[in-house]
Amino acid sequence: MKAFAKLLETLALTPSRNRKVAALTEYFAATPDPDRGYALAVLTGALSFDAVKAGRLKDVVLAEVDPHLFALSYDYVGDLGETIALIWPHKGGARPLPRLSELVEILNTTAKSELPGLIAELLTNAEINERWALVKLTTGALRIGISARLAKTALAEMSGTELKDIEEVWHGLKMPYEDLFAWLEGHGDKPAVDHATRFHPLMLSNPIDEEKDFAALDPKDFTAEWKWDGIRVQLILGEGTASLFSRTGDDIAAAFPDLIDNAFGHGVLDGELLVGHELEPAPFNALQQRLNRKTASEKLMADYPAFMRVYDMLFDGDEDIRALSWTERRKRLEKFFAGTPQSRLDLSPTLEFSDWQDLEAIRRKGADESGHEGVMIKRRDAPYVPGRPLGIWYKWKRDPNLVDAVLMYAQRGHGKRSSFYSDFTFGAWRGNELVPIGKAYFGFTDAELKELDKWVRSHTTASFGPVREVEKSLVFEVAFDSAQASTRHKSGVALRFPRINRIRWDKPAAEAARLSEVEALIPAT
């Protein structure tokens, strides 16, 4: 456990991506099985402990620490793990903590009624950094600036194996990944994973640089299609079976049986998950009613029927066609639809254009008239390459909407921002009342963050736990992709992907947007 705690501490305190990869590489190379496998599972989000919640940990601490002192400390520090590590009053250190693999076994087999005593004993025997690591481990709230892809990159660095080869087998592996490490270290075969049951890493796009890229790219080499406002999914159709994965490889089939049970054929398809009647996409807010649910009720499926708009094919039956050009894959996909009638799948149409100015006009018209997110631009002769290769797929999003909104509430951030008010809720005027329309926590520089934090502290009018209500006098120019009707918000409006575009220190709050201006941006249905 000491080595794992040291790794987490290094990752949390190291801003450099290369140094994070080096720390992970060193840990995986030096740590024996199965500890390194469980560490990999924790770091990539594959391992969690359902019985250990943040509330349970707080109860353990509050049994030993004055609640008021804990509340003040937590409010100041902003991170539960760090607060517990610093405030825990017992430092017995009678015996070392178990190895990581042993700790995982203990946490998985201990009865819920005995967990508080176990956690208290572990905290007492741990050093400060180990206590912090314990909280991070048990709650799964790492927030240490790494992703699953970064961990896989470290495995590639450690072994000299291509990252794409690791991603090819990743979703067919099981903890503690001993077969993976055996293969990477050269004393085992590459894990055999059936393509019909596993997720295949997706090909991703890069934002287009309008000034640089269009001057270098020949429009004749590219095709285009709409950028659909749903979520990216991969549908795997086998002989009598179907699987549905999110872009990160999470199995979401159970939440969309109306799609899974009505998709036919044999192959691996790439596309966008949408909801709507008669294969007409509803706004993203409608899709949100179906997301993050383990199952779907009959009413949800009737109100928001799911379907998939398909735009690429990775396997045609059992044949891997990713090495073929986009043009050849498209022909296979069109043949698939021609030979297999579908009620919950349809083919994403391509857009005809003569030059980049022509495509820009199409993009603008689609955004204005149909609410499209933008267009995708894809090289005709390119294979399907996992990851985010340069020069093959581009996304050209519509210009963002802008609205002037008034800051209403601020909350401290997490990790490096735990000492700063960095999460901001803003609103628009409805009559003489401000109503919240969104929340943003990025779009400003570090220098601007310090200014905003200072402003919040000197203009606070009320406190609600970690939230500060502020004087309604500071205006943000907020950029966002779209506005949607929402019954969950007092204003009746929700903004998609809001970010702070500018801080309008100069603008009076009375001149900020009216709610009717924001409502006018909601697409007609």
Residues 6+ apart with CB under 8 A from 337: 310, 345, 346, 347
Given a contact cutoff of 8 angstroms between Cβ atoms, the answer to whether 57 and 119 are in contact is yes
Which parts of 44-114 fold into alpha helices (H)? 54-62, 67-77, 80-87, 100-109
Both tokens of residue 169?
Answer: 């087998």
Mean pLDDT of 326-350: 96
**pLDDT value of position 212:** 92
Given a contact cutoff of 8 angstroms between Cβ atoms, the answer to whether 242 and 387 are in contact is no
**pLDDT value of position 12:** 82
**pLDDT value of position 293:** 85
**pLDDT value of position 9:** 87
pLDDT, tens digit (0-9, with 9 covering 90-100), for 461-482: 988 877 899 999 999 999 998 8
Residues 6+ apart with CB under 8 A from 276: 282, 286, 304, 305, 307
Given a contact cutoff of 8 angstroms between Cβ atoms, the answer to whether 142 and 80 are in contact is no
pLDDT, tens digit (0-9, with 9 covering 90-100), for 36-95: 999 999 888 888 777 777 788 888 889 988 988 888 888 777 777 788 888 888 876 667
C-alpha span between 34 and 25 (Å, rounded): 16
Tell me phi and psi for residue 499, to 5 degrees: -150, 155
**pLDDT value of position 127:** 84
In the chain, % of residues over pLDDT 70: 97
Mean pLDDT of 270-298: 90
Instruction: Check pLDDT > 60 for residue 162.
Output: yes
Residue 445: CB atoms within 10 Å: 9
Given a contact cutoff of 8 angstroms between Cβ atoms, the answer to whether 434 and 406 are in contact is yes
| pLDDT-derived band at 262, boundaries 50, 70, 90 | very high
pLDDT, tens digit (0-9, with 9 covering 90-100), for 296-329: 999 999 999 999 999 999 999 999 999 999 999 9
- Domains, in order of start, for the chain: 206-397 (3.30.470.30), 401-519 (2.40.50.140)
Q: Each residue of 398-436: b (16+ CB within 10 Å) or e?
A: beebebbbbbbbbbbbeeebbebbbbbbbbbbbeeebbb
Higher pLDDT, 348 or 294: 348
Helix, strand, or coil (residue 309) = strand
Tell me phi and psi for residue 190, to 5 degrees: -60, 130
Tell me phi and psi for residue 326, to 5 degrees: -55, -40
Per-chain mean pLDDT for the chain: 89
Which of 279, 29, 15 has the alpha carbon at shortest distance from 3? 29
pLDDT, tens digit (0-9, with 9 covering 90-100), for 356-400: 999 999 999 988 788 788 999 999 999 999 888 999 999 998 888
DSSP-assigned beta bridge partners for residue 377: 224, 394
DSSP-assigned beta bridge partners for residue 88: none
- The alpha carbon torsion through 360, 365, 370, 373 (nearest 10 deg) reads 20
Given a contact cutoff of 8 angstroms between Cβ atoms, the answer to whether 144 and 17 are in contact is no
Rg over alpha carbons for the chain, rounded to the nearest Å, is 26
Instruction: Check pLDDT > 70 for residue 246.
Output: yes
